[in-house]
Amino acid sequence: MITVAAAILEREGKILIAKRKKDDPLKGKWEFPGGKVEPNETPQECLIRELEEELGIKAEIKNFVCSSQYKYPHISINLLAYTAEYLSGELHAKEHEEIKWVKPEDLKLYDFPAADKPIIEKIPTFIHD
């Protein structure tokens, strides 16, 4: 099982989500930005690195939200979700087909991988307009 970290970036009451590319095993699914935690790296350090690599932004990682374990046909993951605050940089979809800001109540309208669904359930408890 690999450990993956995900950032819940909130701005003006909306959450940033990213669509996986067509060559990905979970192609077309939406996710919270993040990636695999490398050896000797904390989940928070992973998120700082991944957000810069994938989106071109600097962020401060805030609070742990929840974890979710799931076994896909191609991989088993332990997904750790954290809130994150955008600090600087121009947002670009470098590693995703598309990125967008959506209202928390609209997250259920997007096709997320199974591991991300418990995170969606937690979001209304800490997002405030």
Question: What angle is formed at CA 88 by the lines to CA 84 and CA 89, rounded to 5 degrees?
Answer: 115
For the chain, how many structural domains are there in total?
1
Exposed / middle / buried, residue 55 (Cβ in 10 Å: 0-12, 13-18, 19+): buried
Q: Whose CA is closest to 13, among 98, 106, 92, 118? A: 106
Residue 129's pLDDT band (cuts 50, 70, 90) = very low
Instruction: Tokens for 2, please give them.
Output: 């690999």
Query: Any idea what the CATH number is for the domain that residue 29 is in?
Result: 3.90.79.10
8 A C-beta contact, residue 43 and residue 5: yes
Place of tokens 């950032």: 7
Range of the domain at 20: 2-125
Quick: pLDDT tens for 10-60: 888 899 999 988 776 667 889 999 999 999 999 999 999 999 999 999 999
Rounded to two decimals, what is the model's pTM?
Answer: 0.89
